[in-house]
Chains A and B, each alone.
Chain A
Amino acid sequence: MYAQMIKTAGTGVKSREEMTEQERAFQDKIDADIKIEPKDWMPDDYRATLIRQIGQHAHSEIVGQLPEGNWITRAPTLERKAILLAKVQDEAGHGLYLYCAAETLGVSRDEITEMLLDGRMKYSSIFNYPTLNWADIGAVGWLVDGAAIMNQVPLQRTSFGPYSRAMIRICKEESFHQRQGYDAIRKMAEGTPEQKKMAQDALNRLWYPSLMMFGPSDKDSVHSAQSMAWKIKINTNDELRQKFVDQTVPQAEYLGLTIPDPDLKWNEERGHYDFTDPDWSEFYDVVKGNGPCNVDRLAARNKAWDDGAWVRDGLLAHARKKAAAKVAAE
């Protein structure tokens, strides 16, 4: 998942006594794993939080096209170019399902798009990092999609029906992307000394930003409890981050690459790897807009939107003319 720092609406988890009858019935459904559908009653705060979360996820898919698109015209073989095109196309498709899921909550795609463009809504911090060599494309698939899947797999069971169904579909494609990404970086790691250098460089730059994708440490993550009670967040940030590290370290070892963390080591007692937390001050800087690519990414999206206005207007005008002609003919 590409949602971080989602501010849960409302004042926190209510006890059963504090809930209205409607709220109790709603919570009972969630506790019984019955999906909430768009026409069902839901608390306003549940709706607002989901719009933020699904919207941020959708925006991440859209902005996420940019760092990968950066290499489509330079892909080194026809097959790699085709794979990357297919992946970016899938991501745009994920954006589309997610915007549709958000629309079922009563917010239009244009409305939340404008909130992205003017900075009221965010996208995942990871896409504010640049893709500088071809191995980054493999590393994005391996690490970024890998981290996304960690979060998305549990979200297939999330309480809101349209979101859960979108996740089921997205997860299938994401796990495919992750395998392709790993394959691409494996080719580099097993290649010439220059290719190996590119692979290591990609891992060095993307490791900590990937860990940041799970959001701040649990002790600083103040909004989780209500979202977890609503089952729109299933695991805590730290649980998922640990799971990701545990999964990824052996994969890096297999590739012969070194994770840029001298303190990383297996902890027999915990049965997990100990690792260094990312630099959270850097994370907050990126979230505030000071990442290496924030300005460029948002400018690119704004330019696409502004330059495309005449196209959207033209097609809409044509559709209206056609509809009017049809009515006149009847």
Chain B
Amino acid sequence: MTRDEAFLQFLLRMGDNTLILGHRVSEWCGHAPVLEEDIALANTALDLIGQTQMWLGLAGEVQGEGKSADDLAFLRDVWDFRNVLLVEVPNGDFGRTLMRQFLFDAWHSIMLGRLMTSSDDRVAAIAAKASKEVAYHLERSGDTVVGLGDGTEESHRRMQEALDYLWPYVGEMFASDEVDAEMAAAGIAPDPASLREEYDALVGRVLRKATLTIPDSRFAHKGGRNGRMHTEHLGHLLTQMQWLQRAYPGATW
């Protein structure tokens, strides 16, 4: 694997995470439990889509085949996507959506913090911009997880169920492979495994405050970030997201 090939994979992983999660969050539009949450969810989705434009834009540049961020978002099939499985699982109830957001935001904020010192200026610039947004995402999702975890009996139960369901998807964010080794060697991005300690401390602190129990198992579903095996859900998501571009090829919108 050449450095550019690894760099492309890394950029797709970053951009596909934000694209797919942004899409999932946008599914809530108009259906949130309270108006402030509708606004916050739309705002989060908007930030994530904006970050996608930057990551996939750079991915297209590095790939050098003249593809735009839109080409990459709308014209690839499931096996080309490099997002972690966590972001493609269906929204479930509001509790699961916010728990997923929190588990992702915690990783995202640590990752972006490290990327701000990337040896690649373009990566560092995207990370600097995105990390400001993500700091807010984390504050909000963390507060909501605490509020609902330590709320009523029902909200506690639902949040614990959400955590139990999602926890097996957490490990994939820290799995390292040859792409990561190449990125770490080049000083472009950290080895994901090196983020785990900080992540566990952060997530542990918030979940304790939320009176929730982290499942014992460290078992991790994998296959998203290397494209080996996505969940069944991603294909359905793409049928919606890519519909117009696929049905009317070559049109500009």
Contacts of B93 in A (CB 8 A): 307
Closest B residue by C-beta to A65: B30
Of the listed residues B29, B30, B32, B53, the one surrounded by the most CB atoms of chain A closer than 10 A to its CB is: B30
Question: Does B33 reach chain A (CB closer than 8 Å)?
Answer: yes
Per the bound structure, the CA–CA distance linking A88 and B45 in Å amounts to 11
Report whether A96 and B147 are in contact in the complex, using a CB–CB cutoff of 8 Å.
Answer: no
Which residues of B134-163 are within 8 A (CB) of A? Answer: 144, 146-148, 150-152, 154-156, 158
Stretch of B68-76, B101-109, B169-177, B178-186 that contacts chain A: B68-76
Expressed in whole angstroms, the minimum distance between the Cβ of B25 and any Cβ of chain A is: 9
Of the listed residues A78, A316, A318, the one surrounded by the most CB atoms of chain B closer than 10 A to its CB is: A78
Per the bound structure, the CA–CA distance linking A49 and B3 in Å amounts to 68
Question: Does A288 reach chain B (CB closer than 8 Å)?
Answer: no
Contacts of B252 in A (CB 8 A): 187, 191
Contacts of A134 in B (CB 8 A): 244, 253
- With A310-B155, A310-B158, A315-B147 already in contact, the answer to whether A93 and B39 are too (CB < 8 A) is yes
Report whether A310 and B42 are in contact in the complex, using a CB–CB cutoff of 8 Å.
Answer: no
Report whether A69 and B39 are in contact in the complex, using a CB–CB cutoff of 8 Å.
Answer: no
Question: Does B34 reach chain A (CB closer than 8 Å)?
Answer: yes
Of the listed residues A77, A109, A188, the one surrounded by the most CB atoms of chain B closer than 10 A to its CB is: A77
Report whether A312 and B241 are in contact in the complex, using a CB–CB cutoff of 8 Å.
Answer: no
Contacts of B240 in A (CB 8 A): 73-74
Contacts of B244 in A (CB 8 A): 74-76, 134
Per the bound structure, the CA–CA distance linking A80 and B23 in Å amounts to 13
Per the bound structure, the CA–CA distance linking A298 and B95 in Å amounts to 23
Q: How does the 8 Å CB contact mask read for A53-87 relative to B, with 1 for contact and 0 for none?
A: 00000000010011011001111111111100110
Contacts of A304 in B (CB 8 A): 30-33
Per the bound structure, the CA–CA distance linking A118 and B130 in Å amounts to 42
Contacts of A74 in B (CB 8 A): 240-241, 243-244
Report whether B151 and A72 are in contact in the complex, using a CB–CB cutoff of 8 Å.
Answer: no
Per the bound structure, the CA–CA distance linking A75 and B244 in Å amounts to 8
Contacts of B52 in A (CB 8 A): 78
> Contact partner of A312 among B34, B53, B95, CB < 8 A?
B34
Report whether A300 and B35 are in contact in the complex, using a CB–CB cutoff of 8 Å.
Answer: no
Report A's interface with B, CB cutoff 8 A: 62, 65-66, 68-69, 72-82, 85-86, 88-89, 92-93, 95-96, 99, 109, 134, 184, 187-188, 191-192, 194-195, 300, 303-305, 307-319, 321
Question: Does B46 reach chain A (CB closer than 8 Å)?
Answer: yes
Report whether B74 and A308 are in contact in the complex, using a CB–CB cutoff of 8 Å.
Answer: no
Contacts of B152 in A (CB 8 A): 310, 313-314, 317
Report whether B49 and A77 are in contact in the complex, using a CB–CB cutoff of 8 Å.
Answer: no
Q: Offer 6 A-B interface pairs, CB within 8 angstroms, sorted by A.
A: A79-B70, A81-B49, A85-B45, A314-B152, A314-B156, A315-B147
16 further A-B contacts with Cβ under 8 Å, apart from A62-B35, A95-B35, A195-B251, are A72-B27, A78-B69, A78-B70, A81-B49, A89-B38, A92-B35, A96-B36, A192-B251, A300-B31, A304-B33, A305-B33, A313-B154, A314-B147, A314-B151, A314-B156, A315-B144
Contacts of A300 in B (CB 8 A): 30-31
Per the bound structure, the CA–CA distance linking A273 and B33 in Å amounts to 45
Query: How many residues of B are in contact with the other chain, CB < 8 A?
Result: 52
Q: What does DSSP make chain B's interface, helix, strand, loop or mixed?
A: helix
Contacts of B32 in A (CB 8 A): 304, 308
Per the bound structure, the CA–CA distance linking A308 and B155 in Å amounts to 11
Report whether A307 and B33 are in contact in the complex, using a CB–CB cutoff of 8 Å.
Answer: yes
Report whether B151 and A81 are in contact in the complex, using a CB–CB cutoff of 8 Å.
Answer: no
Q: How does the 8 Å CB contact mask read for B36-55 relative to A, with 1 for contact and 0 for none?
A: 11110011011001101100
Closest B residue by C-beta to A319: B147
Contacts of A184 in B (CB 8 A): 253
Report whether B49 and A85 are in contact in the complex, using a CB–CB cutoff of 8 Å.
Answer: yes
Contacts of A109 in B (CB 8 A): 35
Contacts of A317 in B (CB 8 A): 151-152, 155
Q: Which 3 A-B pairs have the closest CB atoms?
A: A308-B33, A314-B155, A314-B151
Per the bound structure, the CA–CA distance linking A192 and B251 in Å amounts to 6
Per the bound structure, the CA–CA distance linking A54 and B114 in Å amounts to 48
Closest A residue by C-beta to B45: A85
Per the bound structure, the CA–CA distance linking A81 and B53 in Å amounts to 11
Closest A residue by C-beta to B210: A318
Report whether B94 and A311 are in contact in the complex, using a CB–CB cutoff of 8 Å.
Answer: yes
Contacts of A78 in B (CB 8 A): 19, 49, 52-53, 56, 69-70, 73
Question: Does B226 reach chain A (CB closer than 8 Å)?
Answer: no
> Contact partner of B155 among A76, A96, A311, CB < 8 A?
A311
Report whether A311 and B251 are in contact in the complex, using a CB–CB cutoff of 8 Å.
Answer: no
Contacts of B37 in A (CB 8 A): 308, 311
Report whether B23 and A73 are in contact in the complex, using a CB–CB cutoff of 8 Å.
Answer: yes
